[in-house]
Each structure stands twice: as C-alpha cells, then as structure tokens.
Structure 1
Amino acid sequence: MPYLTGERHQLPGNRSELADYQPQHFLFALEQGVATITLNRPERKNPLTFDSYAELRDLFRALAYADGVKAVVVTGAGENFCSGGDVHDIIGPLTRLDMPGLLAFTRMTGDLVKAMRACPQPIVAAIDGICAGAGAILALASDIRYGTARSKTAFLFTRVGLAGCDMGACALLPRVIGQGRAAELLYTGRSMNGEEAERWGFFNRLCSPESVLAEARAFAAALAAGPTFAHGMTKKMLQQEWNMGVDEAIEAEAQAQAICMATNDFHRAYHAFVAKEKPQFEGD
C-alpha cells in the first residue's frame, strides 16, 4: 500500500497545540513535542492545592486534543517532586467539609489520575527528593518513572488516618510492584528510598539528582520522535487490558495492530528498512 496522498489529514473536532498555554498553578513548557509540567512551590516541597489539582486535571484532559504534544514530563522545582496535598490549603479545609463536599474533592483528585491514564501521550515522571501522598500517586499514574537514590516515595494516607485506597492506589500500585509489596506500603505509609523503588520496579531507572530531569526529557524526546500514534495505542491497550481476559486481550490487540498497520508511519518504517535508512515518523 502506498502512502496516503494529499494534505496531511486534519482530525475533526476541537484540536489544540497548547503552544501558548499558560497555567496559573504550575509551570508548563513545550519544546520539540515534549511538554514539561513543573510543580513550582519549592519552598513547600511542591504541594498540591484545590486549584492545582483541578488545573492539572483539565490540562491532561486537553492533551487528548493537543496534536503538537507527543510526550509529557512531570517534575518538581527545587530538590523535591511533590509533598502531596497542602496541609494548610487542603487538609485543614477538608476537616470542615460535609460528606457531599468531601466526595466532590475525592472524585476530583481521582479524575486527575483518570485524565493522566486517558491522555494518549506517554508520561515520564522525573522524581527527586520527597514524593509523597498525592505526589506519589502522580508518579504512579505516569507511564515511566526516573528517580534518584536520595528520593523518598511514600503513600502517606494511613499516617493521617485515611485508607491507602486513594486516587486508584489499590488498583495501580499492585500492578507496578506486586500485591504484597503494595499492601505493605499502603498499610504502613512508610517511604521507599530510590534504590528500593528501583529494585521493586517502581522506578524504571535511577539517575543522579543533577541529571534526572535531563534524562527523563531525553527519554521523552526519543518517544516523541517515534511512531506517536502507535505509542498512544500502546498506552490505551496497557490501560484497557487490565479488565480483559487473555482471549479478549489478544483480539483487542489484533484490532489495534491492524489499525496501526494502516498508518503512514508503518509504511515509512518499511520503506526506510528497504532503503537501509532510519525511519522518520510523523505520528500519522
């Protein structure tokens, strides 16, 4: 089959490049298809607030329509990733909310994780220092995690009298590190150092504190230069197949792969192989 001819196909609907996006509660930069989200309250170890939760949720939802964003990096300013929900801006006010208000909050925080898992771009977390509570969930909801030996990751919820089942932790964490290890962390709220996190499979790689962000960006850039339509399909299948039997998963993958075989990127790869050249993927 030859390449599709004519102008590059423009998807219908409200598409966005996000090149001019200016958030209010964190930093955002877009360079060569890689968006970097930086939690930017270093004096407090980058805690989340009601507003930053909501703005992050809305941004990850918008990424589904952002053709110019091919991969995402999430990090924290200073020497920490994220200390979780702000004690003064979130925890205190929560003690004064009624049950409908509390449920609205917990659903909003869960919606952030849903948005991260639903956005088609791979998400790479660059983690140094404190990665705790909701910050640990942001790391967990990412697709790839680069950390440092000095980092401390903790699912702190039981330390404040709450259950470990927050923002999808009981579904996501066992799939990353195993049921027994996840149970220990979620029951105790203890922290993992970077070496343990890598050994248990929570971190994909350990880096030096000085290089962790650069290495995460380099990995994201390599993904952004690849077959991004196919990457989005891989992410979708990784998410959907959690709830499938093996036969269903094999059929779903047959359909997904057939769709990818109809893309120009698949044909570019074949023609580049024949010509003994490196394929130049364009995500279509």
Structure 2
Amino acid sequence: MMMKDFKPDHYDWRVDGTTAIINLRRPERKNPMTFESYAELRDTFRKLVYADDIRAVVFGSNGGNFCSGGDVHDIIGPLFDRDMKGLLEFTRMTGDLVKAMKACPQPIIAAVDGVCAGAGAMIALFSDLRIGTPAAKTAFLFTRVGLAGCDMGACAMLPRVIGQGRAAELLFTGRAMSAEEGERWGFFNKLTAPEQLADDALALAKRLAEGPTFAHMMTKTMLNQEWSMSLEQAIESEAQAQAICMQTQDFRRAYEGFVAKQAPKFEGN
C-alpha cells in the first residue's frame, strides 16, 4: 500500500520523502479531537502497517499547540446522550487509536508545543519519541472533568515512562507537567525552541527513516512486548529477533559498508 497521496478528511497529512507529518486542525481551538478525527487517525495508523513508502511519522503541533483533547462541544456534550453501550463504543475507539499507534511498525515522533492535554497527552505518550518546547504543558486532566485517570492506557503507560509516583500525582491531580519536568522525568527526549520544533522532529524522523527500518520495526515490537515478559523470556525473544535481523540485506549492507569504509545505504529489507 502506498500512502504518499493519502488525503484524510479530518486532519492534515503530508509526506516529506518517506516521513509522514500529521497535524490536527482548528488551531483557533488548540486542535481538539472529534469523533471523526479519532476514528480516522485510528484507521490511518492501522493502514501504516501495510505502507511500504512511509518509514517514520511526525505528529506535529499546529498554531503553537499540540492538542487540547476531546472537543467539549463535539464530543463531551454528545456523550451525555449515549447509553452504556454507546459510551463503551467511544472509549474503546479511543483506546484503539493508541493501540494502532503501538502496532504500526514506523517510529512515531511527537513534536509538542503549547497545550498537550487529555487525548492529546495520550497521543504524545503513545508516540515512540517526544520533542517538546519550553512552552509545552502536558496534562492528563481526566479527573478535572470528573473522570478517572485511567483513560486510553494512561495508568499502564505513564508509569513506564516517568515512574509510578510521578504518574500517580499527575493522574490524581490532573495538573499540567511543565516542559522542564517533562524533560527531567524522561517524558521528553529533548526540548527545543518553538521555531525549531518542526525541523528538529523532521530531522530525527528522517534519520530514523534512513536507517534499517526492518530492524527499527523489530526494536519497536520488542520494546512493546517485553513489558509482559520475564527477564529470561525477554532475553530469548531478543535472541530470536536478532537472529531474524541477521538474515536481512541491511545487515549485510552494514557489514559491506564497514569493510569498504563507506556509509551503508539501508533499504529496509
């Protein structure tokens, strides 16, 4: 499947080389999520499993903000008209989005500026790498609207990234994590100036896209799977994964490049 010419209806998509860049719409409202954008993003990340022409993804900011979460008028208000079955359909759909992000083989880089709240914070959390600006404010604010902090996998994933105690504080209080805290706690891989954010995220994505993408897929797979393994299982699984990677042409290209004292050109096979 080729996705360079893909045209979504509910968010912006462009491709630079082999890197896809996603930006949510409506910057005047800090890029909120809607029922439609949830579903279309879920379906897009599912399609990326089969997209041979996309090797990395940047989920970017728009108008100085990343995402303000579920739209109050388009999502939260209509939820009061749903019965339990309808509510569960919605909450499962939001979970399906982040599951699709984890399942797609391409590394995902979140470029976070300004407001990053609710579902937006979860999209950033479930990205593989995160770059922020000093203005980034990340809030898992579910308790502030009367809901539990356990939304879209937050109670499972956030402690893995920043630690149990820090995650518990953010999920109980709903307060915003500052950019400095986010970098110090390991949520952000680095901070950069707002005017450099898009370029830095794209440069990192291109660096990954030019690498051994089959091996990157295997790395992402093992990072996700090994949380539920014993140490012995993890070591054995990595032995098998590495043996598979040793059969790729990219492994041979790296060896031949080293012998010839030339940089290898990886092709993802």
Give TM-score scaled by structure 2 length. 0.99
What do the CA deviations read for 1:90-140 (whole angstroms, capped 9, x no partner)?
000111210000000000000000000000000000000000000000000
1:35 to 4, 11, 20: 20
Partner of 2:207: 222
Measured on the aligned residues, the alpha-carbon RMSD in Å equals 0.5
Q: Does the 8 A contact of 1:40 with 1:76 survive in 2?
A: no
- Corresponding residue SS for 1:280: coil
Aligned-pair identity in percent equals: 68
- Corresponding residue SS for 1:211: helix
What do the CA deviations read for 1:201-254 (whole angstroms, capped 9, x no partner)?
100000001111110010000000000000000000000111100000001000
Partner of 2:145: 160
Gaps in structure 2 of 5+ consecutive residues: none
Partner of 2:225: 240
**1:200 is aligned to 2:213:** no
1:128 to 113, 116, 132: 113
Gaps in structure 1 of 5+ consecutive residues: 1-15
Matched AA of 2:233: E
Q: Does the 8 A contact of 1:132 with 1:156 survive in 2?
A: yes
1:273 to 249, 258, 265: 258
Partner of 2:38: 53
1:80 to 65, 68, 81: 65
- Partners of 2:128 and 2:242 in 1: how far apart? 20
Deviation at 1:76, TM superposition (A): 2.4
- Corresponding residue SS for 1:73: strand
Matched AA of 2:64: E
Give TM-score scaled by structure 1 length. 0.94
Matched AA of 1:259: I
Partner of 2:85: 100
- Partners of 1:218 and 1:83 in 2: how far apart? 26
- Partners of 1:198 and 1:176 in 2: how far apart? 11
Deviation at 1:32, TM superposition (A): 1.1
- Partners of 1:177 and 1:26 in 2: how far apart? 29
Partner of 2:56: 71
Deviation at 1:166, TM superposition (A): 0.2
Q: Does the 8 A contact of 1:81 with 1:135 survive in 2?
A: yes
